[in-house]
Amino acid sequence: MRDRTPGGRLFDAVNYAILSAVACVCILPFIYVLAVSFTSPEEVARGGLILFPREWSLAAYEYIFSTGTLTNSLLITVYVTVVGTLINLIFTTTMAYPLSRTRLRGRQGVLLGVLITMLFSGGMIPTYFVVSGLGLTNTLWSLMIPSAISAFNLIVLKNFFQQIPSEVEDSAKIDGCNDVEVFFRIALPLSGPAIATFALFYSVDHWNTFFNAVLYLNDSSKWTIQVYLREIVILAQSNIGDSSRLEEMNIQPLTIRMAVVVFATLPIMLVYPFLQKHFVKGVMLGSVKG
């Protein structure tokens, strides 16, 4: 199987070299940010590329926790992620299941209605007025309810439910279950892995949510971690505190920015190893045409 010709070896060498370089480019920025956030101010001031801190320091982390803004936005983001994902799962599964029953009258019509929303939408401004008309603006519901179902996930899950053999459903019916009981006792338990995948996708979306928060929340006490990150890193606003206090505590603003980036990324990195097993399957599920 292995290619032993000189041309083949050259090909392999070049291929491995390029792939290694691509992998490094993908991961090095994260390692750099993590390293600098733990590095002492003196070493940061000297500059250059730090991939492993020689002089460790937790000053940046101590500082951002002492201000309370970060803790607050972290708590809000965790809340939105947990509750939001639950809402996503409830809405998506309860809609996908009836749509997977081919005998259901009017099913095609509803499916068509869902497909149309994937092609055409009212856009930002009318949507904003619907959300504000319902009184959701400036509440955390605005981050959860308007994105309760992703049409794409819905259709993938519908296809998944459809694969459950109807004999299983029939025998449960004979035992006296109604459709709701069949859904809870049979369809849901049989779809564990698929639902786990969507739970992960939805929760990543909630953790990363940024624009909806900018759009719908005016109150800075409700900022999610991504909005906070933008203020500090991109707009370089001095919510990090007054510079005199930073100097007094001997902290580089740079390390503080890095520490906030770490927090905005950390949960993703923590669940990533668990995520990875599932998501490839999830994407494959999605690529099967409905």
Partner 1 sequence: MRKESAGKLFKDVVRDKWLYIMLLPGVLYFLIFKYVPMYGLVMAFQDFRPGLGFTNSPWVGLKHFERLFGEPQFWRLFRNTLLLAIYNLVFFFPAPILLALMLNEVRREKFKRFVQTLVYIPHFVSWVVVVGICYILFTTENGVVNELLYRLTGEKIPFLLSPEWFRTVIVSQQIWKEVGWGTIIFLAALTGVDMQLYEAARIDGASRLRQIWHVTLPAIRSTIVILLILRLGNFLDTGFEQIFLMLTATNREVGEVFDTFVYTKGLTQGQYSYSAAVGMFKSVVALALVLGANWTAKKFGQEGVY
User: In the range 31-70, which residues lie near partner 1 by CB under 8 A?
Assistant: 32-33, 47-49
Contacting residue, 80, 229, 246, 259, with partner 1 by CB under 8 A = 229
Binding of residue 148 to partner 1 (CB under 8 A):
yes
In angstroms, the CA 206 to CA 183 distance is 26
Binding of residue 222 to partner 1 (CB under 8 A):
no
Q: Judged by CB under 8 A, which stretch of 60-68, 147-155, 163-171, 243-251 contacts partner 1?
A: 147-155
For 75, 129, 213, 218, the CA distances from 241, given in Å and listed in that order, are: 20, 35, 23, 21
Binding of residue 135 to partner 1 (CB under 8 A):
no
Binding of residue 119 to partner 1 (CB under 8 A):
yes
In angstroms, the CA 83 to CA 80 distance is 5
Q: Judged by CB under 8 A, which stretch of 12-20, 159-167, 190-198, 239-247 contacts partner 1?
A: 12-20
* Residues contacting partner 1: total by CB under 8 A: 94
For partner 1, the closer CB: 48 or 68: 48
Give, in degrees to the nearest 5, the angle at Cα 53 between 51 and 57: 140
DSSP conformation letters of 44-67? HHH-S--SS-SSB--HHHHHHHHH
To partner 1, the closest distance from the beta carbon of 119 in angstroms equals 6
Binding of residue 11 to partner 1 (CB under 8 A):
yes
Ramachandran region, residue 50 (left: φ > 0; alpha: ψ -120 to 50; beta: rest) = beta
Q: Judged by CB under 8 A, which stretch of 53-61, 191-199, 223-231, 240-248 contacts partner 1?
A: 223-231
To partner 1, the closest distance from the beta carbon of 283 in angstroms equals 5
In angstroms, the CA 155 to CA 40 distance is 51
In angstroms, the CA 239 to CA 200 distance is 32
Q: Judged by CB under 8 A, which stretch of 30-38, 57-65, 66-74, 161-169 contacts partner 1?
A: 30-38
CA dihedral 81, 66, 258, 57 (to 10 degrees): -130
To partner 1, the closest distance from the beta carbon of 279 in angstroms equals 8
